[in-house]
């Protein structure tokens, strides 16, 4: 899990860098494929926005993750579903 929404008020680019680094480091340390879970609903220290979700998606794709998700279905704002659909291509 790379729960970026629990980090201190990250910009969208900071979300990208942190998630990309977490995926890369985990792959390096384990030698295994990585699937990553990103944010937690609309709570936490860094609000889940469309821009941040897009950068999470970018990092997931760019770092070569095999999957990605967001917690949770019940609290995911309607505006976040289009960016989340990009994870289906992994």
Q: Which two tokens stand for residue 60?
A: 């997931």
Q: Tell me, what's the pLDDT at 77?
A: 86
Q: Per-residue pLDDT tens for 14-61?
A: 999 999 999 999 999 999 999 998 877 655 678 888 999 999 999 999
- Would you say 67 and 87 are in contact if contact means Cβ atoms under 8 Å apart? yes
pTM of the model: 0.89
How far apart, in whole angstroms, are the C-alpha atoms of residue 61 and residue 53? Answer: 12
Give the residue with greater pLDDT, 84 vs 40: 84
- Segments making up each domain of the chain, as ranges: 4-89
Q: Tell me, what's the pLDDT at 42?
A: 58
């Amino acid at each position: 899990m790379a729960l970026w929404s629990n980090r201190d008020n990250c910009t969208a680019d900071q979300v990208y860098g942190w998630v990309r680094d977490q995926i890369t480091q985990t792959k390096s340390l384990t030698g295994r494929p990585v699937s990553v879970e990103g944010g937690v609903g609309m709570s936490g220290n860094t609000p889940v926005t469309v821009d941040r979700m897009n950068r999470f998606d970018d990092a997931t794709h760019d770092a070569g993750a095999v999957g990605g998700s967001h917690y949770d279905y019940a609290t995911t704002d309607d505006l976040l579903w289009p960016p989340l659909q990009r994870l289906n291509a992994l």
